[in-house]
Structure 1
Amino acid sequence: MSNTNEFSSLEELVTHLRHRLSPGGGNKKYLLLFAYNGTGKTRLSMGFKEEGKNNGDADTLYFNAFTEDLFSWDNDLDNDTQRVLKLNSGSRFFAGLQAFEMDNRIRKLLQRYADFDFKIDTDNWTVIFERQVINGDTSETIEHIKISRGEENIFVWCFFFVIAQLAIDEQEAYAWVKYIYIDDPISSLDDNNAIAVASHLAHLLKNQDRVKVVISSHHTLFFNVLWNELNCKKCESYFLSNDSNSNGYNLRETNSTPFFQHIALLKKLHEAA
């Protein structure tokens, strides 16, 4: 029978997750959390990050909605021609931008998912996107294009993935990373890309022992692919939900029943009926 832990606050939940990853509290390598939108996954990821800062220097490389906010569009409203994606030069996230040939690292990964190309201007901290357009027997490169929201999402994910690889490889710019926290990286992707991202991510994480990892998602397929790929003694998976009675959180183990989430949803629907 599954075990459920109750937490009265976000801080208690954060402490528990860090404890499960610590050598004295479980020494788990990965924690997988399934939770519906509105549960507080993003707040949890930021709480986990802040707890690391409270204990000294930052120790968590994270991917969530705030990571996506490090990238913002300048749509050139005056001329509508020189559209660029701006990078937040003040963020530690981009510490390795000028040292590791990020263009080539990201491009190699991005080609798995998309048909556009890009150029990073490290002097102006911007990204220019371009696409090859075929006209009969000829083709031309259209620069400064505005990519779709889904394309932007996968570009940002590839950017993060490369940085996570650098952290795992213990490159100096990211040697501070002890934990990687990933929250819903595939919110704008179709199922095929969701499977590809989950499988590729699992491959990266299985072949390293330097960092501990927490992954949260509301995407059932993404969650289950990761559960199957990472299923081992060093992995724990949970269903995270709100406790309506206490305004706290419930964390239910799912190690033996990874596909049970729909039961919780049906329960909520029956309660609302």
Structure 2
Amino acid sequence: MSGVRTYQSLGKLVTRLRDDLNDADLVLLYAYNRTGKTRLSMAFKDAGKRRTRRNPTGTPDTLYFNAFTEDLFVWENDLDGDRLRRLQLNEKSSFFNAMAELTLDETIAGYLSRYADFEFDFTYKEFQQGGETISKPDFVSFRKGDQTNIKVSRGEQNIFIWCVFMAICERMLDGHESYQGKSYLYIDDPISSLDDNNAIAVACDLAKLLRRAATRKDANGAPAPIKVIFSSHHALFFNVMCNEMGRRDDGGPKITHKRCFLHRPDGDGRYTLQATDDTPFFHHVASLAELQRAADPAKGTLYTFHFNALRSVMEKTASFFGHPGIAFCLRALDTDDDRALFNRALNLLSHGAYAIHEPTEMGEDNKQLFRRILNAFITRFEFALPNVVPAQPPASTPAQAPAPQEAPAQ
């Protein structure tokens, strides 16, 4: 894979990714939120259970983790008694079918102890499924010290679910009969609601598991690798994964992997893949291309949260050059007046109530100021913007830009 490639549908993109895994152990995808990562993971999974010449029975070949996996766990908060709080498991899901025989508790606890300080207890129940009776977990409750039936935070809940998945992955790699026929792992955004410290810890643990998947052997000692797609919108997590998978582990074999930026340039059904093997920070450059498109006065729309995005790119640029803050980037601009104005604008307009979830369009004065800052930054640092986004030069503005407006009451 080289350059930028365009795919007209999810199906064609899935075919590309499955082809890439013929000569690589792992594909790492970076993509913004709302690109369609979850839909892509489901399309990949669905492609693996179609009846084909290689899979005449239509046996599912992918074990996956995504938002649907997290949705299998739902809180029962006991609103009447306000006492028994527990996480209910979806009894209809086959995801839990083998948990009684997998004896996962110890493995889950081993992972969980690295990230959290609470404990858990599964309660099992007999379910009728397909004419047979299956013992499956009904719910899980949590405790900490002398406290029982505690409500854990959303981040703690998500890390617990992730630990369950990691434990199941271990059994699959062990060759448990419940996972015969599985050839792929698809892992999409496993660290929602986690702080950066836990994100790094999870990435390191996941990298160890993926090395094991790539070097897996069957009972006879023959290579039997599990191929992996990993996708994330989290820049730190993605870069840790790139670094971890790019190095040899204690003299072990090198893991062949591809790094790609996944993009949906026009919000339609088309997708692009940009190989980023030599530029793991490509997504920050892509962010600039997105900002340049938003700043196009003819076709774009600038929202107040775009100041946050620009400040973030400046901070990462300064960090790349070994400087602690965006003052380095501002010093590269032309005049003291410009630097003072731009610094005031970025500090004032990149904070406060400018949430991406409730976007507010910039006023015209701030749009002109934003275009000046963006144009000066791109020009001075000579960024070569990717062609995944049709770049439009920011509009010229009057010689003296207006001062930034105060934020309106929200």
What amino acid is the match of 1:190? D
Structure 1 residue 146 displacement after superposition? 1.0
8 A contact 1:8–1:246 mirrored in 2: no
Q: 2:46 aligns with which of 50, 54, 57?
A: 50
Structure 1 residue 100 displacement after superposition? 2.3
Deviating runs (4+, > 4 A) in structure 1? none
Instruction: Confirm or deny that 1:222 pairs with 2:244.
Output: no
Counterpart of 2:176 in structure 1 is: 171
What amino acid is the match of 2:229? V
1:185/1:246 CA distance change after superposition, 3 Å: closer
8 A contact 2:10–2:269 mirrored in 1: no
What amino acid is the match of 1:18? R
Unaligned runs of 5+ in 1: 133-140
| RMSD after superposition | 1.6
Structure 1 residue 246 displacement after superposition? 6.1
Q: Name the structure where strand makes up a greater proportion of residues.
A: 1
Counterpart of 2:311 in structure 1 is: none
**What is the percentage of aligned positions where both structures have the same residue?**
51
Counterpart of 1:73 in structure 2 is: 75
8 A contact 1:34–1:239 mirrored in 2: yes
Structure 1 residue 71 displacement after superposition? 0.7
Structure 1 residue 177 displacement after superposition? 1.8
8 A contact 2:63–2:186 mirrored in 1: yes
Counterpart of 1:129 in structure 2 is: 142
Deviation per CA, 1:237-263: give whole Å up to 9, x if none. Answer: 100000318630000000000012111
8 A contact 1:64–1:183 mirrored in 2: yes
Under a length normalisation based on structure 1, what TM-score does the superposition of the two structures give? Answer: 0.92
Instruction: Confirm or deny that 1:201 pairs with 2:230.
Output: no
Distance across 2 between alignment mates of 1:243 and 1:252: 12
Superposition pairs of residues 33-182 of structure 1, within 5 angstroms = 33-55=29-51, 56-123=58-125, 125-132=138-145, 141-182=146-187
8 A contact 1:97–1:122 mirrored in 2: no
Q: Which SS does the other structure have where 1:98 is aligned?
A: helix
Equivalenced residues, count:
261
- Give the greater-gyration-radius structure (CA): 2
Q: Which SS does the other structure have where 1:207 is aligned?
A: helix
Q: Which SS does the other structure have where 1:158 is aligned?
A: helix
Structure 1 residue 207 displacement after superposition? 2.2
8 A contact 1:85–1:127 mirrored in 2: yes
Unaligned runs of 5+ in 2: 52-57, 126-136, 217-224, 247-253, 296-410
Deviation per CA, 1:55-106: give whole Å up to 9, x if none. Answer: 3111111111000011111111110111111112232211221112221110
Distance across 2 between alignment mates of 1:272 and 1:251: 21
Structure 1 residue 147 displacement after superposition? 0.7
Distance across 1 between alignment mates of 2:233 and 2:109: 28
Q: Which SS does the other structure have where 2:264 is aligned?
A: strand
Under a length normalisation based on structure 2, what TM-score does the superposition of the two structures give? Answer: 0.62
